[in-house]
Amino acid sequence: MNNFSMPLVCVCVPTYNSGKTLAATLDSISGQTYRNISLIVVDNASSDNTLEIADACAAKDSRVRVIRNTVNVGGEGNFTRCLQLADGDYTAIFHSDDIYCPKMVEEQVKFLQANTEAGAIFAMADTVDGDGRVGRSYRLPRALAARPSRLYDFQTIFKSMLKHGNFLLCPGAMVRTAIYKDYIKHWDYEHFKTSADLDVWLRILQKHPIGVINEPLFNYRVSPSSFSYGSGRAKTEPHDLLLVFEAYVQGYARDLMGPEEKTDYFRLVMNDNVNRAFNLAVMGSPAEAKALIAGVFRPGSICGVIGSVYHFKTIALAVLTALLIFIPLPERVRRLVSILRFKTRG
């Protein structure tokens, strides 16, 4: 990189039993075009060969340090440990099963250097399965992507998330280290469980605008080895994401909640109910599934899908769920429907 300073970027990689994917992940980080990197692997008491792989990387690259937790502190606890260990000007927490494009760090540093008011910069991603096949693409909602500025404030992001859910991926974030260490300090698992990362982004937005590079700068793994893959296919309780939205709707974002925002939030909850109902129907719990989709086919809900692909998909899934509830199918057929549904999502 030329013509601007090269601040130190701390890349933290929290790991737990990541032996199948860690080597490729670390190779993609070590191979970044931006060279002024401190790479910290923070192992959460793995029982497989994760540490062996991390140590081998450290032996080849002097920028790599390996930190061993003597006991497992939980996923979010390990993210907090990363914040405590972070050094340098900027910090990124990369997942141990994703692959990062060679220029990802360089592009994010360029943005933060050019936009000193930004507290963080995010990148978008393409998903890949266990065999490396590209599936779904994560991009900004069209209304945000069409804006002339790539800087977004709390109000803009929160209102868009009420319509579309969380579109900021955790391993896509690079944050000014001082913000992480002096202001964020911890991942709040106690209140927000596995969606504590969304709370972190919203806390940053309360103080600083964020930037988003609306291009796929990393491959986000969705396969049987990833947490999000398995949890989405078995979830029957409300998504932890709703813990965050409820806290902000009732708290910091209360004054933003006009009629449109309240409707968007209702539909966000409805979408989660339909996903849970589908899983319950597949598992053979039709009564519980029926209760969750009871309000989906009301006229107000149906009218709400006009012009919205996101909500149309919700209604379509509700129809499929209703068929699973009312048409007795063998378990193997119900499981096949579930496999096909998630396969088409990528």
> 205, 115, 215: which is closest to 152 by C-alpha?
205
pLDDT digits (tens, 9 = 90+) for 50-78: 999 999 999 999 999 999 999 999 999 99
Does 315 lie in the same domain as 203? no
CA distance 172 to 167: 10
Counting the structural domains of the chain, the total is 2
Is residue 237 helix, strand or coil?
Answer: coil
Does 306 lie in the same domain as 198? no
Does 175 lie in the same domain as 64? yes
Q: Is the pTM of this model over 0.85?
A: yes
Residue 283: inside a domain: yes
Q: Which residues contact 289 (CB under 8 A, 6 or more apart)?
A: 276, 277, 278, 280, 281, 321, 324, 325
Does 154 lie in the same domain as 90? yes
Does 154 lie in the same domain as 47? yes
Residue 308: inside a domain: yes
Of 209, 229, 249, the residue at which a domain comes to its end is 229
Does 220 lie in the same domain as 116? yes
pLDDT digits (tens, 9 = 90+) for 190-200: 999 999 999 99
Domain that holds residue 147: 9-229
Residue 241: inside a domain: no
CATH number of the domain residue 176 falls in: 3.90.550.10
Does 336 lie in the same domain as 273? yes
pLDDT digits (tens, 9 = 90+) for 166-207: 999 999 999 999 999 999 999 999 999 999 999 999 999 999
Does 117 lie in the same domain as 264? no
